[in-house]
Amino acid sequence: MDMGLPGTPAWLREQQDAARYQLICTELDLAITFCQVAATTKDPTRRDRNIANAREAHAAAVYFFNCNHLESTKRREISEKLLRLNSLLAKF
């Protein structure tokens, strides 16, 4: 994909989209990790804290996902992670 010259609006938009995509993926990976930790701990306080952290990361990812215009392949990747995360959260 041609991003144009550095500093142009098209280039800046591409940079912003790339950063937003990375943020969404990081939040989803973090939420999945929190769910996995919550599922393996016997300490109810730690479990609840990790579930709350997973939900917070999930909410942030959904927020940025809904206000972004990503390529279809990136949207599909994020949608797959969201499905996995929603399945994990449903167990709690």
| CATH number for the domain formed by residue range(s) 9-90 | 1.20.58
Q: pLDDT tens across 5-18, in order? A: 888 898 998 899 89
What is the structure's pLDDT at 3? 60
Extents of the domains making up the chain = 9-90
Q: For 20-78, how does the pLDDT look when each residue is reduced to its tens digit (9 = 90+)?
A: 999 999 999 999 999 999 999 999 999 999 999 999 999 999 999 987 778 889 999 99
* Separation CA 72–CA 68 (nearest Å): 12
Give residue 69's pLDDT: 76
pTM listed for this prediction:
0.86
CA distances, 21 to each of 3, 13, 37, 60 (Å)? 16, 12, 24, 12
State residue 58's pLDDT score.
98
